[in-house]
Structure 1
Amino acid sequence: MRLKNRLSVLVIASTAILGYSNYANAAGTLSGQIGVEVTIGSGCSVANSGGDTNTWGTLNFGEYSDLVNTINGSVVGTAATVGLQVTCSTDLPYTLTFNNGLNASGGLRRLNLGANYIPYHLYSDATYTTSILNAPLSRTGTGSLESIPIFGRILPSDQTTTAPAAGKYIDTVTATLIW
């Protein structure tokens, strides 16, 4: 009987040691890698668009009593920035096109008030020598914000009358950024 008790004590002690041993072996350190990535697609954005519509700016020639002198203006963005504020991916070729507006006739864009029209021109330079009629502006993205100035001009020589009816003349030109 004593042998049986000793054997039982030995089995209990061995089980306790093995159990403790397994517990001690459970502690340790594991290392592994976590892959981290981001994919950047090529693209462009216009910084001065605003509201619920894609309003990229306004060309407001101001207020005049007649059209006997040349009137100049430039596009001002929604945040009072001059020109269109475009950011395109580095080295991404893009073009900016402009339609002829809602009232074009005879190769001229025209502001309108009812049946009255005031022809005007768009230019891509401050010297008013590079007309934006049907030719797109082609550029390559820098990855940074670029200001693309757009200038407008009303010429007396384009007018059917230099004293048109009083009121607010309007037009809408659609600009399209293609990449």
Structure 2
Amino acid sequence: MKAKIIAVGVGAAVTLSTLAAHAATDTTTFDVTISITPSCNISTAGNGAPTLAFGSHDSFQTQVTGSTNLIVTCTNGAAYQLGLNEGLNAGAAGDVNTRRMIGVSTTPDNTADYVPYQLYQDASYATVWGNTLDTNTKAATGTGAQATHTVYGRVPSTNYTVGNYQDTITATVTF
């Protein structure tokens, strides 16, 4: 009878040992990551391209003003700079200080004439808006929502040949 009890005791010990092996655990950790890269989008206010229209004026006007809006949407926290180039008809390539519109009328013919103008970052017409990073661009930080940037324009004088004039400006957002 003793032998039977020992055998039963050994069987119970094996069963307990097996249960203890299954109850043991081990753990590890792993990282969950995402990398959000800066992203920006530039668009015009409203439908289509915005026009900075100075309107119609006789040739005796000075300091004629107008404005338009650009919409920039950048990733929250993304630093960006908004620049405006010199246009297609600048007096010197790359020089935002010589912006000018060219005549586009044929009756009377003003296609060889220019009207100077300037674009500004502020309503007080103090800060010329250019396209040189960290110099004459407009710096901002994205919020993830649309940000409206108003472009202020001024024609110093309308004492030029009768007709219509235009220029094309390229706006660039660098982030």
Which bin holds the TM-score, normalised by the shorter protein?
Answer: 0.5 to 0.7
Residues in 2 aligned to 1:146 and 1:155: alpha-carbon distance in whole angstroms: 29
Query: Residues 122, 67 of structure 1: CA spacing in aligned structure 2 closer, same or farther, 3 A cutoff?
Result: farther
Residues in 2 aligned to 1:138 and 1:42: alpha-carbon distance in whole angstroms: 15
Match of 2:58 in 1: 65
- Three-state SS of the structure 2 residue aligned to 1:101 is coil
Match of 1:147 in 2: 148
- Three-state SS of the structure 2 residue aligned to 1:138 is strand
Query: Residues 121, 143 of structure 1: CA spacing in aligned structure 2 closer, same or farther, 3 A cutoff?
Result: same
- Three-state SS of the structure 1 residue aligned to 2:166 is coil
Q: Which runs of 5+ in 1 are unaligned?
A: 1-36, 76-82, 157-161
Match of 2:85 in 1: 99
Instruction: Note if contact 1:56-1:84 (Cα within 8 Å) is conserved in structure 2.
Output: no
Determine what percentage of the aligned residue pairs are the same residue. 36
Pairwise CA distance, 1:163 = 3.1
Match of 1:116 in 2: 113
Q: Which runs of 5+ in 2 are unaligned?
A: 1-32, 104-110
Query: Residues 62, 109 of structure 1: CA spacing in aligned structure 2 closer, same or farther, 3 A cutoff?
Result: same
Pairwise CA distance, 1:144 = 1.3
Query: What are the Cα deviations for residues 109-146 of structure 1, in whole angstroms up to 9, with x where unaligned?
Result: 00111110000000001111111145111111111111
- Three-state SS of the structure 2 residue aligned to 1:97 is strand
Query: Residues 154, 127 of structure 1: CA spacing in aligned structure 2 closer, same or farther, 3 A cutoff?
Result: same
Give the aligned length. Answer: 128
Pairwise CA distance, 1:59 = 0.6
More relative contact order, 1 or 2 (CA 8 Å, 6+ apart):
2
